[in-house]
Chain A
C-alpha cells in the first residue's frame, strides 16, 4: 500500500462563528491517540479544524463541536451541517459547561431543534455503548459530574437526533470536552483510559 492514496480518518473540529469553538484544544490529539492505540483504523496523525460555513466540512463526515458560549448557526453553517447529516455524516456536540441551565446547552438545543428536530434521550443499551468497548450502564460519567460541578447532575443519557436507524446528531451534557482535554502522554497515570468512549463514538460513526 506504500505510496497509495489512503482515505485516513481525520478527526474534525467544527469552527462556528458564534462562540468559543476551540475551548478543548487538546481533545483531538487525545482521541486520535486512543484510536491509534486501540484500533486498526487508519487515522491521520493530526486533526483538522474546518469552518462549518465552508463546503469543505463535507470532507469530514464526523464533526465535533463544543463551547461555553451561546451557540448559533449562521445560514451557511446550518445549510452545511444539515447536508452533512442528511448525506450520512454525524455531529457530536458536547456542552463544555456541563450545565443544562447554561447558555451553551440552551442555545445548542434550540439550534439542533431548528436545524434537525428535537433531540431525544438515547437508550443506554444503544449500539454506540458496545460497538467497541462495552459500557453496560450507558455513557460513562465524567469527573466533572461526579465532583458536582456545573449543574451538579450526573446525566443518565446522551441525547440524539436519529437519521433513520443511525445517529445523526449526538448531544452530550456530560462535558467530555473537559474530561478528554489533556495531553495523551498523561494517560500513563490513569488506571482506566477515560477516552475509551470517545473511541466508541468514532467507531460508531465509521461503521454505521
Chain B
C-alpha cells in the first residue's frame, strides 16, 4: 500500500511521461510534414479556376482532396480527378447532385422521331433540351420518364440538380413494308388506311372469297420484305406457319383479337382470348366511341414469357412477348374501326397513331449507325464521377475520416500543457525542485 506522498510522486512521473510522449509525437509529426508534402489536405468548392492544374503541379499530389460539388464535373475534369486518385491522392466529394441518365433511340415509324428515356430519382423534375433550346420538363416517377420527340437536333440533354446528361441519337433505321392479312371487312380496311395515312408502306392480303384474295405484295413473308405482319382474323390462318417463322427470325407480329382466338395462332399469342365483354354497337348508342368503350376480348392465362402492356378495368387489353428474335403483340380490342368512324373529333388521328404505335413497338428495323463524336456524349455523368473517384461522402464523414492534422495537434498541445502544468505545480507544492 503506497503512502500519499508516494502516490503523488507516481502521478508526477505519469504526467512527465505524457509530456515527453506528446513532445515526441509533435516532433515526429513536424519532421514527417517537412519530408512529405503528400499529406496536405485540400478542400475546394468544385474544380474550376485551374484547381486541377494547381494540384497536379505540386511536386507530389495533395494527400487528400475533398470537393464540395454543386455540379457534376465535366468528362475531362472527372478523368483528371481519376488521374489524381490514381497518382495516390485520396479524392472525396460531397454535394446534393441528382444521378441522371439519358438515352435516345430512333422510333421505328415512317414519321421518324426519337424516344428519349431519362432515369433520375423519383419525384425530381428533369429539364430536357436540345441544341436549339428547352424542349420540356418531365416529372420523374418510378425512377424514369420518357419523351417522344418528332425531330431532334444533334444532342439532347437532361438537366436536374447539378447533373447534365447529354446524348445523341446513335442510329437511324431502315423500315420495310407492313403486311396486313384479313378478311374483307371494315377492320382490315381501316387498319390498312390508318397505317398508310401514317406513312407506312402497306401490302395487304384481303380474303374476299374462298381462293380469292385482293392481294398486293409478296407471298414470301420474311424480314427482308416486311418489318411487321398484322394478322386481323381467320384469313391469316393459312399463313400461320410463315408468320411464326417470320417472328422467329426477327419480324414483328400484331395479332388482332379475332386472329388470336384461333388455334392456329396459339404459338404466337401471349395468352388466351376471352369472349368479348360487350357489344360495341350497344355501347356506341350512348355516345361517341373511344378506345375505352370498344368491345374487349380480355387476354387471360398469360404465358410465363408474356407481359401485359395495357389493362382496362383490371383486364389485360394488350400483351406482348418475345418469340426468338422477334416480338408479338396481342390485342384484345375488337373492331377498332368503330373508334375511327364513331369517335369524337380527332378520332381518325388517334386511331392512326394508336395503330402505328402498336406496329412500331414490334417492327423490325435495320439500324444504320450515324457518324457522331463519341467524346461529346455524356449519358451518365454521375456514374462517370463515381467510377473516377468513388461515391459521395458526407462532409461530416469526410471530416472524421480525414482527421485534419491541425485539429488533433491542437488537442495534443492542450494535453501536453495540462500535463506539464500539473507536474510542475505538484512538485512545487510539495517543495521539490
Roughly how many angstroms separate A86 CA and B234 CA in the complex, as a whole number?
Answer: 29
CB pair B184–A5 under 8 Å, yes or no, is no
Of A38-46, A95-103, A139-147, the one contacting chain B is A38-46
Q: Is A14 an interface residue (CB 8 A)?
A: no
1/0 per residue, CB under 8 A from A, across B309-350: the answer is 000000000000000000000000011011011100001100
Roughly how many angstroms separate A56 CA and B282 CA in the complex, as a whole number?
Answer: 11
Closest residue of chain A to B280 (Cβ to Cβ) is A5
CB pair B234–A1 under 8 Å, yes or no, is yes
CB pair B275–A3 under 8 Å, yes or no, is yes
Roughly how many angstroms separate A41 CA and B188 CA in the complex, as a whole number?
Answer: 12
CB pair B206–A207 under 8 Å, yes or no, is yes
Given the contacts A40-B210, A42-B183, A88 and B193 also touching, CB distance less than 8 Å:
yes
Q: Is B177 an interface residue (CB 8 A)?
A: no
1/0 per residue, CB under 8 A from B, across A82-93: the answer is 001011110000
Q: Is A131 an interface residue (CB 8 A)?
A: yes
Q: Is A59 an interface residue (CB 8 A)?
A: yes
CB pair A38–B209 under 8 Å, yes or no, is yes
Given the contacts A5-B276, A5-B280, A88-B340, A40 and B185 also touching, CB distance less than 8 Å:
no
User: Could you say which of A61, A87, A208 has the most chain B C-beta atoms within 10 Å of its C-beta?
Assistant: A87
**Chain B residues with a Cβ closer than 8 Å to the other chain, count:** 39
A-B contacts, 15 listed (Cβ < 8 Å) = A4-B258, A7-B186, A40-B183, A40-B210, A41-B208, A55-B288, A55-B342, A59-B281, A59-B338, A59-B341, A61-B186, A86-B348, A88-B348, A203-B214, A207-B208
Q: Is B297 an interface residue (CB 8 A)?
A: yes
Q: Is A206 an interface residue (CB 8 A)?
A: yes
Q: Which of A3, A41, A56, A88 contacts B184 (CB 8 A)?
A: A41
Q: Is B261 an interface residue (CB 8 A)?
A: yes
Roughly how many angstroms separate A3 CA and B261 CA in the complex, as a whole number?
Answer: 12
1/0 per residue, CB under 8 A from A, across B8-31: the answer is 000000000000000000000000
1/0 per residue, CB under 8 A from A, across B242-278: the answer is 0000000000000000100100000000000001100
Roughly how many angstroms separate A128 CA and B69 CA in the complex, as a whole number?
Answer: 72
Set of chain B residues within 8 Å of A42, measured between Cβ atoms: 183, 185
CB pair B341–A7 under 8 Å, yes or no, is no
Chain A, 37-70, CB within 8 A of any chain B CB: 38-42, 55-56, 58-59, 61
Q: Is B187 an interface residue (CB 8 A)?
A: yes
Set of chain A residues within 8 Å of B190, measured between Cβ atoms: 61, 88
Task: List A residues at the B interface (Cβ < 8 Å).
Answer: 1, 3-5, 7, 9, 38-42, 55-56, 58-59, 61, 84, 86-89, 131-132, 203, 206-208
With both chains docked as a complex, state the minimum distance between the C-beta of B216 and any C-beta of chain A, in angstroms: 10
Roughly how many angstroms separate A40 CA and B211 CA in the complex, as a whole number?
Answer: 10
Q: Besides A5-B295, A203-B208, A207-B208, 18 other CB < 8 A contacts? A: A1-B258, A4-B258, A5-B279, A5-B280, A9-B185, A38-B209, A59-B281, A59-B342, A61-B337, A61-B341, A87-B340, A87-B341, A88-B340, A88-B341, A206-B184, A206-B188, A206-B189, A207-B188
Set of chain A residues within 8 Å of B212, measured between Cβ atoms: 39, 132
Roughly how many angstroms separate A131 CA and B234 CA in the complex, as a whole number?
Answer: 21
10 closest A-B pairs by CB: A5-B276, A39-B209, A206-B184, A7-B335, A58-B341, A58-B342, A207-B214, A40-B209, A207-B206, A41-B184
With both chains docked as a complex, state the minimum distance between the C-beta of A165 and any C-beta of chain B, in angstroms: 10
Set of chain B residues within 8 Å of A3, measured between Cβ atoms: 275
Closest residue of chain A to B342 (Cβ to Cβ) is A58
Given the contacts A7-B186, A206-B184, A206-B189, A40 and B341 also touching, CB distance less than 8 Å:
no
Roughly how many angstroms separate A22 CA and B338 CA in the complex, as a whole number?
Answer: 26
Q: Is B207 an interface residue (CB 8 A)?
A: yes
CB pair B214–A89 under 8 Å, yes or no, is no
Roughly how many angstroms separate A59 CA and B289 CA in the complex, as a whole number?
Answer: 10
Given the contacts A1-B234, A5-B280, A59-B284, A206 and B185 also touching, CB distance less than 8 Å:
yes
Roughly how many angstroms separate A42 CA and B297 CA in the complex, as a whole number?
Answer: 19
Roughly how many angstroms separate A58 CA and B188 CA in the complex, as a whole number?
Answer: 17
Closest residue of chain A to B345 (Cβ to Cβ) is A83
Set of chain A residues within 8 Å of B185, measured between Cβ atoms: 7, 9, 41-42, 206
Set of chain A residues within 8 Å of B279, measured between Cβ atoms: 5
Closest residue of chain A to B277 (Cβ to Cβ) is A5
Set of chain B residues within 8 Å of A84, measured between Cβ atoms: 341
Q: Is B285 an interface residue (CB 8 A)?
A: yes
CB pair B275–A131 under 8 Å, yes or no, is no
Roughly how many angstroms separate A69 CA and B276 CA in the complex, as a whole number?
Answer: 44
Roughly how many angstroms separate A15 CA and B280 CA in the complex, as a whole number?
Answer: 23
CB pair B297–A41 under 8 Å, yes or no, is no
With both chains docked as a complex, state the minimum distance between the C-beta of B101 and any C-beta of chain A, in angstroms: 43
Set of chain B residues within 8 Å of A86, measured between Cβ atoms: 348
CB pair A132–B208 under 8 Å, yes or no, is yes
